[in-house]
Amino acid sequence: MERREMKKLLLRTAKIAVGSSAAIYTAELLHLEYAALAGSIALLTLVTTKWETLRLSFFRVITFLASAALAWLAFAHIRSEWVAYGVFIFVLVLVSELLGQKATISVNAVIGTHFLSTRDFSSAFLWNELLLVLIGISIAILLNLYHNNRSRKKEIISNMRITEQKLQMILKEMAFYLLNQESGRNVWEEISSLNEQLRRYIENAYEYQNNTFQSHPGYYIDYFEMRIKQCRVLYSLHDEMKKIRTMPGQAQIIARYILYLKDYVIEVNVPAPQLKRLHEIFKEMEKEPLPVTREEFEGRAMLYHILMDLEEFLVSKEHFVNDLEERQMARYWKQDHSRTM
């Protein structure tokens, strides 16, 4: 396990241990019955992200009230304990699943056993059970407000730079291949490795998004998803190059273009100039004399496929930039209109 992952694991387990203990201690200070349940509620709520903690806490309160009503209907009117609890659990699980609140089932099932064992539906006992829920979720919310988001954001930005450097390196190797100057690196493995890294980077970006209240964390997810699309293009590009039996003379033009392009594989670049230059190469290729031999024809066709792959590589970035601009415009429009309403 990486050092960063171990640090994150230790922080999460420490928060769960402290939160669970604090919840039980608080419940005992208030002389509540079944104080240990507050610790379990804190534990089950803390294992989620910041946004999920808030959402789950809200539904824990709502479903508690519904479960208490269900317990009264089942336990106050059915004498047999096992039949009453079976009816209670059947309805509880069914309703929770239908509402998409599976995470609340375990806590409400335990609360149901409290009502079943005491058959006490007084306001005092109901308040006891509600306080256990409120203590557990309150401590979970307080502890989950702390996340080392500054460090996580710095790490995400570092991953963006690593991604760009690797893409530049892969493009450079492909250009050298077209120039018959291979360095001996396994480009296929480099692309596969980068693709796996990008999937981990996306997971980290999602985790950052779910643990921050900032307005733009989805940008990082979109960025890495765009780079994954470009990785898929590189798979195709590499495959097309390997199919060329005899390297046509026009390959040098494309190789020089790739060497030019690699320097613009950076976050802030808008690829319009690179697309324009690529389209100029398309026009220049159309003016070239027609191939004579079959090998020349196949080689020329492969070069066209390579150019189209390069176009798709750039279009992925263009769509990312356009989507970003549209979201910014929509946000500004919403802010302007909210001020005038």
Which position has the token pair 């960063």? Answer: 4
User: Which pLDDT score is estimated for 214?
Assistant: 57
Would you say residue 299 has pLDDT above 80?
A: no
Residues 154 and 133 grouped into a single domain: no
At 184 the pLDDT is 73
pLDDT score of 330 more than 50: no
Q: Band the pLDDT of 80: cuts 50, 70, 90.
A: very high
61 with 36, same domain?
Answer: yes
CATH number of the structural domain spanning residue 321? 1.20.120.940
Structure token pair of residue 61: 């309160």
What pLDDT does 313 receive?
95
pLDDT digits (tens, 9 = 90+) for 178-232: 888 877 788 889 999 999 999 999 988 888 877 775 555 588 999 999 999 999 9
pTM for the model? 0.67
DSSP string, 219-256: HHHHHHHHHHHHHHHHHHHHHHHHT-SS--TTHHHHHH
- Domain boundary residue, one of 119, 144, 169: 144
Q: Considering 82, 111, 144, which residue would you say is the last residue of a domain?
A: 144
165 in the same domain as 274 = yes
How distant, in Å, are the alpha carbons of 30, 315, 317 from that of 229? 56, 10, 9
Residue 11, pLDDT > 90, answer: no
CA 146/CA 62 separation, integer angstroms: 25
Please indicate, yes or no, whether residues 220 and 250 belong to a single structural domain of this protein: yes
Domain boundary among 144, 161, 176: 144
Based on the fold, state whether residues 183 and 258 are members of the same structural domain: yes
**Distance between CA atoms of 249 and 152, rounded to whole angstroms?**
48
Same domain, 215 and 124: no
My answer on whether 217 and 77 are in the same domain is no
Which pLDDT does position 332 carry in this prediction?
40
Q: Please name the residue ranges forming H helices in the chain.
A: 3-29, 36-46, 50-75, 81-98, 105-118, 123-144, 149-178, 187-210, 218-242, 251-262, 272-287, 294-340
Q: How does DSSP assign 128-185, residue by residue?
A: HHHHHHHHHHHHHHHHHT---HHHHHHHHHHHHHHHHHHHHHHHHHHHHHHTT---S-
Whether residue 72 sits in one domain with residue 24: yes
- On the question of pLDDT at 273 being above 60, the answer is yes
Q: How confident is the model at residue 339 (pLDDT cuts 50, 70, 90)?
A: very low
Residues spanned by the domain of 77: 3-144
Q: Are residues 186 and 122 in the same domain?
A: no
Give me the count of residues in the chain: 341
| Beta carbons of 68 and 111 less than 8 angstroms apart | yes
* Mean pLDDT along residues 330-341: 40
The pLDDT tens digits for 245-259 are 677 778 888 999 999
> Please, which residues have CB within 8 angstroms of residue 14's CB and are 6 or more apart in sequence?
none
Is residue 41 located within the same domain as residue 116?
yes
184 & 315 share domain: yes
Position 308 pLDDT exceeds 60? yes
Q: Report pLDDT digits (tens) over 103-124.
A: 899 999 999 999 999 999 999 9
**Mean pLDDT for all residues in the chain:** 86
Tally the C-alpha atoms within 13 A of residue 2's C-alpha that lie toward its C-beta.
4
Domain count, the chain: 2
Residue 50: pLDDT band (50, 70, 90) is: confident
Do 109 and 162 lie in a common domain? no
Q: Looking at residue 288, what DSSP letter applies?
A: S
